[in-house]
Amino acid sequence: MTISTPAGLAAPKPRVPALSVEHIAVHFGGLVAISDLNFDVNEGEVLSLIGPNGAGKTTAFNIITGFLKPTKGTVRYRGTSLNGLKPHEITGLGLVRTFQRTSVFQTISVFQNVMTGLHRRGRSSLWDTLLALPQERQSEKELRDTAHEILKLVGVEHRAADIAGSLSYGDQRLLGVALALAANPTMLLLDEPVSGMNASETAAFMRVLTKLRGMGVTILLVEHDMPMVMGISDRIVVMNYGRLIADGPPAAIQGNPEVIQAYLGVGAKKRARD
């Protein structure tokens, strides 16, 4: 990991594929949820996966994180096939999904939550590099320092001593990101992380993602919130009916007639039903 230019300056990033989704198909009985899906997420890139409800985004997310097996195709991370790997083995490769609020231990402190995450994981590289820590196993003191750094990064350090269950909804989601960071990701995957958040919680969450982006963490974001997607993404992949219909930078996606049609089409159907 390198500490790169502050995010938002959008320095051009070299296109080195980190994650490759190759010819993925997913069938649920007779239903084709995904057919022949292909895209890459490049190192250090924020890639958003968008599309109308039922497009297959969560299914794709679950394939990548090992919670579902594809009917066909391969996902590779840094050249290694993820076929047949269990979710925890994929996490061990540095590919970490954020946890929802239910994964936060409600009855222990915010700080202890992150310490638990740090004790569970193996060797660090992200935090070792960031804090210039030696390569031996971290001492308890170093783990505590790391936990505080992570909490500072996600902006809940001031609540470190409080019981996790006492945090607001938005702060619990940020603690979920802290737990994911404790697992030492090189790539972070988020499925609708700001759903249910109010505007200020969403803004705080976006600031954290922007910081992580600036640290060189590769991010795959599945999200409905278009201002957020347009504001933070280097590239956007659009799915509709289980297929990729567009892949490009935000400006190109915003003006893509097929993308506009996919969203308007669903909107029109939904309005007709309501």
Ligand X SMILES: Nc1ncnc2c1ncn2[C@@H]1O[C@H](COP(=O)(O)OP(=O)(O)O)[C@@H](O)[C@H]1O
List contacts with Mg ion (CB under 5 A).
Answer: 57-58
59 binds, among Mg ion, ligand X, none (CB under 5 to 8 A by kind): ligand X
- With respect to ligand X, which residue has the nearer C-beta, 142 or 191? 191
C-alpha span between 254 and 8 (Å, rounded) = 19
Q: What ranges in the chain are assigned the alpha helix state H?
A: 57-64, 87-92, 110-120, 126-131, 140-154, 169-182, 199-214, 226-232, 250-254, 257-273
Q: How many CB atoms lie within 10 A of CB 31?
A: 8
The correct pick among 7, 55, 177, 204 for binding ligand X (CB under 6 A) is 55
Question: Would you say 197 and 205 are in contact if contact means Cβ atoms under 8 Å apart?
Answer: yes
**Structure tokens, 138:** 């971290």
Residue 51 is a binding residue for ligand X (CB under 6 A): yes
| Contact stretch for ligand X (CB under 6 A) within 56-64, 180-188, 210-218, 223-231 | 56-64
Judged by beta carbon distances under 5 to 8 A according to partner kind, the member of ligand X, Mg ion, none in contact with residue 117 is: none
String marking each residue 3-42 x if it binds ligand X according to CB under 6 A: -------------------------x--x-x---------
Identity at 195, one-letter amino acid code: S
Nearer to ligand X, 151 or 220 (CB): 220
Nearer to Mg ion, 164 or 190 (CB): 190
Copy the structure tokens of residue 82: 């993820």
Secondary structure class of 158 (helix, strand, coil): helix
Binding site for ligand X (CB under 6 A): 28, 31, 33, 51, 53-59
